[in-house]
Structure formats: C-alpha cells, structure tokens
Chains A and B, each alone.
Chain A
Amino acid sequence: MSGLSGATAIVGIGATEFSKESGRSELQLACEAVTAAIADAGLKPSDVDGLVTFTAESSSEIHVARNVGIGDFSFFSRVGYGGGAACGTIAHAAAAIHAGLADVVVCWRSFNERSGERYGLGQASRPMDTNADRAAYSWMTPYGLSTPAQWVGMFAQRYMHEYGATSEDFGRISVIDRARAATNPKAHFFGRPITLEEHQASRWIAEPLHLLDCCQETDGGQALVLVSAERAKDLPNTPAYVLGAAQGAADDQHMMTSYYRPSISGIPEMGLVGDQLWRQSGLRPTDMGAAILYDHFTPFVLTQLEELGYCGRGEAADYILDGHLELDGSLPLNTHGGQLGEAYLHGMNGIAEAVRLVRGTSVNQPRTVENVVVTAGTGVPTSGVIVGVA
C-alpha cells in the first residue's frame, strides 16, 4: 500500500439535474454542483482551498471561486484528455492534500454538452491551427474519421476480428446499463430499459457500433469534495476513502486513435492505471464490490474488464454472459446506469455513484459493497480510482 492510499476521502458530492437543455450557463452549472457538494460535505465554501477540473472545462477556477464564495485558494490544477481526466482530478486532489498543499479540494466538471457544443458531431469543422494536437487530426479528418464513435469502431472491429466477439456482446453492456438507469430517478433513461433485440435493431452509427452502443449527451454538472482522512472523521457523511488514484498514458498513445501499436485489441493505458490501483490499494480485482466503468461506447467496457484483470484477453464476452455484472453478480456494473443510462458527465457522475455505493445510498445498492473501482475515459490518456469504506 502506498502512502496515498486511505490518506484522503471523498466527503461531499453534488450535482445539478441531468438534462438535454439546462437553459443555464456552464459556469452556473459548475457553481450549482460545487455549492451542492460543499454543502453535502458539511463544509462552508470558505473552507475550500483547492480546485481541480478538466482542461476541457469552460469555467476557470477563479470564476467558480468568486461566485461560490470560496475566497482564497492555494491549489489548482487541471487534467487533460477529455473524459480521461475524471478520476485524474481525484488523483490530483488526493496528492495535493496528502502533500500538504491543500486541505479541502473540490473537483468538478460541468457542461452543456447536449444543448451546446456536441462532441458527437465530430472534429471536421473545428477551427484550424497547427499545434501538435490539431496536426494529429490531419491523419484522420481528411478521410472522414472525425467522431468518437468512429474512432472506437475502428478498435472494436479489430477486437471482434481477433476474439470473435459480436455486436450482441457489446449490446449486453447497454442492456445492463439501461436496466440500472431504469430504476434510477435521476437517470435520463429512468423507466426505460432496453432489450438486446432493441440494441440490435437500433441504427448504425459507425459499424460495428449501433446507436445503442453510444452514450447519450447531457447538460449538467457534478462536483466532489475531498479532505484528509482525519478531517473526514469529523464530517457528517460516511467517508469514501481514496484507496487508489492513478493516471496513465501508454506507449505510442494517441487521442482515441492509438491504431499504430503492435496490438489494438486492448487499451494498455487502462492496464497501466489498473496496475497502479491494485498496487496502491493492496486490493485485488475480486475485492471490488462494484465497478463503475467508463461507458461512452460499449466495446471499451469489454477491454476494460480485461485490462483490469477480471478476465483474460478476449474473454470479456464470456465473463459478461456469466452474469458477473448483474446487480446480484460478483461485480455489479454501473449501478447508476452509467453514461449510457444516467448521464454523460465525462465520468464524474460515476465517481459520485461510487461514493454513494460506499455510503450505502445507491438507488441500486447491491448486497455488500466495501470497495468500488471507477475508471475514466477510454481510448485516451486515462485514470481510475478505488474508493472504499476504510
């Protein structure tokens, strides 16, 4: 176990509603979520001295701080690579608190991703400059390869070719997520489960991905509050201790298009994150009572199960068929409904669900949960956390 493990805890969570058109500025969504998370933690805004968000976030820390009433703050950092940043914000916050740079750190993400700038519409018409990130698109967009679904589809096709996985194997993830969302009143797809047949019948977006392999788009905000383990004991909520928090970018990493590695049927950056999480926490994959796995597109949930060690390469389809991911299985998956079912909040709503699982307050609480593994965006430099009761 590393010194970081158990040194901090998530003690507050707060979110806006999840909608398709918030009607409010992204800054307001951020402020609402941050304010709610601080209140949930039993703290005052002026207690906060650290802020962490995504590089993709449109509202700077200073705007959030002066609106929320945070006042002075001494630690701030941002994590890049889209949804890959989610658990990275927790890692930065935990490290800062552990190192004595801050006492109370809020991590957040907010956007009008549905009513504002929609990632699903692709990169083709984004403004042009010639920095290295933009130049990287030069190898894709002139060929019409410009959306996340297409990027993932390229990996998925190869995965199917190598392991014999089918579209139905991907679809079972959607069915599970939508079943959990169906009983989560905060979920967009509350009361609307799907069948595998409906998944198969949904239209193609980027073969081999059907529409129901792709997550929704959401307006909303989500924030989480971290403090030291000692301070957590004095606060009202059951602390969700951060037992592991790690980031990872693997050899020859690209943004969603790491097609040039010897093999592309895995996502080694997630393996790198998983290895750190198990090492930091001293826990094993089977010690997890639930998993919140990033599910913007279903195929990468299968590869995550393999990268995290729940099954061998190419065995995820069978692992899912064996029922492990069901609510009564050995590893209940995405109990909030995931991003496919609850909301697409760049993974931050998944961390909040992990906190609820540790508190025992999930709307789909499995029998016993002591530890939960959470992952961030896949196909990009990513991150993960393990939160637990002790």
Chain B
Amino acid sequence: MSAGTSYDDRQYDERLEAFIGRVLNERTPGQDPVNVPMIRHWVEAMEVANPVHLDADAARATGRDDVVAPASMIQAWTMRGYAATVRPQAAAGGFQELIALLDEGGYTSVVATDSEFDFVREVVPGDEISVEEVVDSISPEKATGLGVGRFVTTMKTYRDGAGEVVATQRWRTLRFKPAAKVEPRAERPKPAINLDNAFWFEAARERRLVVQRCTSCESLRHPPGPECPECQSFEWDTVECSGRGTLYSYVVAHHPRHPAFDYPLLIAVVELEEGTRLITNLTGVTPEDVTIGMPLAVQWIDDGPDLTLPVFGPAAPEPTEES
C-alpha cells in the first residue's frame, strides 16, 4: 500500500473508510461495579496522595457525598481481566474485522500514541460502568520512525448503569508495517595494520593495487616487509599494478563459516602480471568454472567504512589494447 494510486490501493482505502463511524466494540459492561478494594489497589500502585478516594471524611470535606474513584481509573473498570487477556476467545465483530483488514494491508504492528479523556462526572462505588468503542478516523498512510502506518482513532464512551455518559476517551493507535529488519552484514575480519603494511591498505582504500618495490634493486615483494631480502636495503616505494593476473591456486571453503561471507567461499592465490602473488577472493565465477591459470582482473569491494579490498573476477583472455 504505497502511494494509493493503483485500483487495488484505492479499493483498500475505501474499505478502510467504510469503518469510520462503525462500532468496533458494542457496549460492554465491566466485570465488577466500582468498588473500594480496587480503588485501594490502584491508589497504592499509582501512589495517589489525594485522600478523597479512600477517606470518606476527607471526601466530604471537599463537598462530595463519599469517596470517589480516581478519574484516570475509568479504563480499569471495563478491562476484560487477566484470563481473557492471556486466553482471548475467538470473537467476531467490528474490531476483529478492522484488525483483519489492517493485517491484509500489512499493518500488522501496533503502538498506542495518545489518549485524551473528557470526564463528565466522578465515578463512585456502586457505579456499573460500561464502554463502547466507535471508529473516529483512519489516517492515510504516513511514514513514521517505526515504519509506514495509519493512525486509527477511536472514541470510547463510558456510561453508568443508567446509560448516562460519565467519560469519553479519544484513543489513537498507530497500526504500522514493521520495518523489515535487515541484519547488517557482519564485517570481514579486520587486518592488523602496522607500520610495515599500512601503505598497502591505504592504497587499497583509494582502489589502487600496489606492490612494494625496493628502490635500490627494484625487486618487488609481497607480502611486504621492512627490508629487501635481495640487497638488504630498507628503502622502498611502491608500484601500481595493472590489476590483471592469473589464478595460481584456490580453495573452496565450506566449514567453518564466518558471518561476513557467503559459502561456498572462493579464496584464491592470484599471480599478478607484475609477478608477485596475493591472497584474495574470486567473484563472478562459481567453483565449477574455476580453473587454475584463468585470467583475472581486479575489482574492489568496500567492507565497512574503513576497509576496501581487491577481489578478482574473470577477465577476457586477451586484454584489448587501449587506443
């Protein structure tokens, strides 16, 4: 139900609109009349200091006839109770129909957003409270922090035994499509960067594949190190590679699995045109089609904000000359 433009979407909107003004829950009496023990539990639990709810003298001192129930307790008198909450009975009615229609639209999650009361008179012990719920409005689809959804506003009307209104409640919930939980992909094991290898990973972040070169005898070496084994020079720079090479060997990893990778995982040793080899992954090829000696070309993958790595995919056997 995205933009509400298609025929199906318009139909759905009309079906929702048909609920406005409909009774969701018929007038339902509370399980018990208003009574002092429940008031006492409420007052204690909510830490209400006002004495008019339990102390008759205090109540009379305020001009009342006797103790009165806390106003915000109005919902409590009509709650369906513990047993019905943990073992709800299958029921049919406007409420169930609306929930089914919202489910159909993908609005399967709910969160209460606000509740506004109007109190007509104070409720006193002996009052038999009932409640009725009518749909007030259903909003168009809105984008919210929880996901796209519709605000469903209902009016609950609380009445006494004589049918007189004692309070009304405008009750708003957001019925929303839970945002698909995309688990972020685990990051690859991080390289341990030190003074001897940092240059290579820094170049990789710029998508440059480099090989360490001795500035004295010009021999290349990888993995890099501080000293040239050929001439013992500690002076070095790097050469930038063409990014082309051939497959020297590979392994198809199956077990154990690391959450950063898809398995079977192709891990390879690639021999670069420049002559050095490096460990990498193969991409764009399945294990059945891998052959030692196949021509490969570098591609780059970003893994998290700080790591870019070269991987290799199949290349045309004869690289075309650039004109």
- Chain A residues packing against B (C-beta within 8 Å): 120-125, 128-132, 134-147, 150, 153-155, 157-158, 161, 203-208, 252, 254, 257, 259-260, 264
Q: 1/0 per residue B160-196: CB within 8 Å of A?
A: 0000000000000000000000000000111111101
Among residues of B, the one whose C-beta sits closest to the C-beta of A131 is B194
Cβ of A320 to closest chain B Cβ, rounded Å: 22
**Measured between alpha carbons, how far is A147 from B254 in the docked complex, in Å?**
11
**Measured between alpha carbons, how far is A252 from B276 in the docked complex, in Å?**
13
B197:A142 contact, CB within 8 angstroms: no
**Measured between alpha carbons, how far is A264 from B251 in the docked complex, in Å?**
14
Give the contacting residue for B256; candidates A122, A132, A145, A154; CB below 8 A: A122
B279:A206 contact, CB within 8 angstroms: no
**Measured between alpha carbons, how far is A153 from B258 in the docked complex, in Å?**
18
Among residues of A, the one whose C-beta sits closest to the C-beta of B251 is A153
- 27 CB-based A-B contacts, threshold 8 Å: A124-B258, A125-B189, A128-B192, A130-B192, A132-B196, A139-B223, A139-B278, A140-B279, A141-B191, A142-B303, A144-B189, A144-B253, A144-B265, A145-B253, A146-B189, A146-B258, A150-B251, A153-B252, A154-B249, A155-B249, A157-B251, A158-B249, A158-B269, A204-B255, A207-B252, A207-B264, A259-B277
Interface size on B, residues (CB 8 A): 41
A161:B249 contact, CB within 8 angstroms: yes
**Measured between alpha carbons, how far is A186 from B282 in the docked complex, in Å?**
44
A204:B278 contact, CB within 8 angstroms: no
**With contacts A139-B278, A142-B191, A207-B287 known, is A264 near B252, CB below 8 A?**
no
Question: Residues of A contacting B193 with CB < 8 Å?
Answer: 130, 135, 138
Q: 1/0 per residue B219-253: CB within 8 Å of A?
A: 00011000001000000000000000000111111
**Measured between alpha carbons, how far is A203 from B263 in the docked complex, in Å?**
14
Among residues of B, the one whose C-beta sits closest to the C-beta of A125 is B189
Give the contacting residue for B251; candidates A154, A254, A260; CB below 8 A: A154
- Chain B residues packing against A (C-beta within 8 Å): 188-194, 196-197, 201, 222-223, 229, 248-256, 258, 260-261, 264-265, 267, 269, 276-281, 287, 292, 303, 307, 309, 311
B261:A260 contact, CB within 8 angstroms: no
B279:A147 contact, CB within 8 angstroms: no
Question: Residues of A contacting B277 with CB < 8 Å?
Answer: 259-260
Cβ of A294 to closest chain B Cβ, rounded Å: 20
Give the contacting residue for A142; candidates B190, B229, B249; CB below 8 A: B190
With A128-B192, A207-B251, A259-B277 given, can you name 5 additional A-B contacts, CB distance below 8 Å? Answer: A135-B196, A154-B250, A154-B269, A203-B255, A259-B249
B250:A120 contact, CB within 8 angstroms: no
Cβ of A113 to closest chain B Cβ, rounded Å: 15
**Measured between alpha carbons, how far is A139 from B277 in the docked complex, in Å?**
11
A204:B252 contact, CB within 8 angstroms: yes
Among residues of B, the one whose C-beta sits closest to the C-beta of A129 is B192
Cβ of B254 to closest chain A Cβ, rounded Å: 4
Give the contacting residue for A207; candidates B248, B254, B276, B292; CB below 8 A: B254
A157:B249 contact, CB within 8 angstroms: yes
Cβ of B79 to closest chain A Cβ, rounded Å: 50
